[in-house]
């Protein structure tokens, strides 16, 4: 038995030692993580009943794009997409799925990585732009993670690129008819898988009713003294209403915890600047899942700071910002 182990162990150790020096094997866990994550992200958007809702729902892509138009350094570009939020949302979702599938299967891995990096950069310049400190934002991490795959690709490890590359004859052009047919066929199969998964996610969304709390919409401005946020009768007891502060132009949530008592909190998540939504008992951020209680205190990260309070007073039938 010792002789057998002595004969087999060195080759096994040598094989794994060789893999540890092979970039394709070293980057394989990163490929798997990025591939699965981007597929999940795309399907999650398509399955979310809030994502394609109207702009009066703070969890919708339309509402978030309106915020990013004002806060992002690429606001004018976001503004163009904000004119067609449903189309933009579908394109983002399908691109994430396509990038994830191509990365996972190792088909045109470098091109897929470039697409993933561009997506991450766009998210960094919109969703995560206001994150302080910067390393709390996940998008900058994803952007950096794509760089090694852009440089190396799959290196032929557990990938369609490696399998199809081996089938190409030495004298066959890289962009020859046979190569294009093989790669095109593989891309078609992956595309079909992605479309089926996207259709299933969309179907599951359509079966789920979109639950909207009393405070999830934006209240219309009411006439009154300068700085009026909302009429007192527009805020139900125990609920919150999203309004625009006429002094700052920013969104705030006005609450009535008990009858006749009003308070207001900033609607901007302290993690990445997304608009938080009232859930009936607290606030949720649609971008990265931060949760806050009705007083703005952090219940779940990645947000580390509470929602800032906004001083208000009641005059007659109006809630006015101070």
54 and 163 both lie in a single domain:
yes
156 and 278 both lie in a single domain:
no
195 and 237 both lie in a single domain:
no
Q: Is 37 exposed, middle or buried (0-12, 13-18, 19+ CB in 10 A)?
A: middle
What pLDDT shows up at residue 313? 87
Select from 43, 60, 42 the least CA-distant residue to 51. 60
Q: How far is Cα 65 from Cα 78, in angstroms, rounded to an integer?
A: 7
Instruction: State which of 147, 171, 206 marks the end of a domain.
Output: 206
What pLDDT shows up at residue 246? 81
What pLDDT shows up at residue 209? 54
What pLDDT shows up at residue 231? 86
What pLDDT shows up at residue 204? 86
Instruction: State which of 206, 236, 253 marks the end of a domain.
Output: 206
Residue 232 lies in a domain: yes
300 and 153 both lie in a single domain:
no
Its pTM stands at 0.75
| Residue 241 domain boundaries | 228-321
Residue 216 lies in a domain: no
Residue 192 lies in a domain: yes
Select from 108, 109, 119, 170 the least CA-distant residue to 142. 119
125 and 175 both lie in a single domain:
yes
Residue 212 lies in a domain: no
What pLDDT shows up at residue 269? 87
Main-chain phi, psi angles of 51, to 5 degrees: -60, -40
Residue 219 lies in a domain: no
26 and 143 both lie in a single domain:
yes
112 and 251 both lie in a single domain:
no
176 and 241 both lie in a single domain:
no
62 and 192 both lie in a single domain:
yes
For residue 259, what is the domain's CATH number? Answer: 2.102.10.10
Residue 213 lies in a domain: no
Select from 202, 203, 236, 200 the least CA-distant residue to 219. 236
Q: How far is Cα 215 from Cα 203, in angstroms, rounded to an integer?
A: 27
The pLDDT tens digits along the chain (322 residues) read 445 454 555 676 777 777 778 899 999 999 999 999 999 999 999 998 888 888 777 778 888 888 788 778 998 999 999 999 999 999 999 999 999 999 999 999 999 999 999 999 999 998 888 777 788 778 999 999 999 999 999 999 999 998 988 877 665 666 667 778 888 999 999 999 999 999 999 998 766 554 444 344 444 445 455 667 888 888 899 998 888 888 887 888 999 998 889 999 998 888 877 888 888 889 988 777 889 999 999 998 888 889 999 898 888 888 888 7
Q: What is the number of structural domains in the chain?
A: 2
193 and 252 both lie in a single domain:
no
Select from 19, 298, 274 the least CA-distant residue to 126. 274
149 and 190 both lie in a single domain:
yes
Residue 290 lies in a domain: yes
195 and 286 both lie in a single domain:
no
């Amino acid at each position: 038995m010792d002789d057998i182990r002595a004969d087999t162990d060195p080759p096994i150790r040598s094989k794994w030692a060789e893999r540890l020096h092979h970039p394709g094997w070293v980057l394989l866990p990163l490929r798997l993580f990025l591939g699965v994550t981007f597929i999940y992200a795309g399907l999650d958007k398509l399955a979310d009943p809030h994502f394609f809702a109207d702009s009066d729902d703070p969890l919708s892509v339309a509402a978030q794009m309106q915020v990013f138009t004002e806060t992002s350094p690429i606001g004018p570009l976001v503004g163009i997409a904000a004119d067609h939020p449903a189309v933009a949302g579908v394109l983002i979702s399908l691109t994430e799925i396509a990038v994830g599938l191509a990365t996972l299967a190792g088909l045109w891995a470098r091109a897929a990585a470039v697409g993933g990096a561009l997506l991450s950069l766009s998210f960094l310049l919109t969703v995560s732009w206001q994150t302080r400190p910067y390393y709390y934002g996940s998008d900058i991490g994803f952007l950096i993670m794509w760089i090694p795959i852009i440089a190396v690709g799959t290196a032929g490890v557990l990938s369609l690129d490696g399998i199809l590359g081996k089938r190409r004859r030495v004298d066959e052009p890289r962009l020859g008819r046979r190569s294009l047919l093989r790669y095109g066929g593989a891309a078609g199969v992956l595309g079909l898988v992605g479309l089926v998964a996207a259709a299933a996610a969309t179907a599951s969304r359509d079966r789920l009713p979109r639950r909207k709390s009393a405070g999830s919409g934006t209240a219309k401005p009411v006439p009154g003294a300068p700085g009026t946020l909302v009429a007192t009768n527009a805020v139900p007891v125990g609920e919150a209403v999203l309004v625009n502060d006429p002094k700052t132009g920013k969104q705030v949530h006005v609450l009535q915890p008990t009858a006749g008592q009003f308070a207001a909190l900033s609607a901007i998540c302290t993690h990445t600047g997304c608009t938080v939504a009232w859930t009936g008992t607290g606030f949720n951020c649609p971008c990265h899942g931060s949760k806050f209680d009705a007083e703005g205190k952090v219940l779940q990260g990645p947000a580390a700071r509470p929602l800032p309070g906004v001083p208000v007073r009641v005059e007659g039938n109006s809630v006015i910002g101070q």
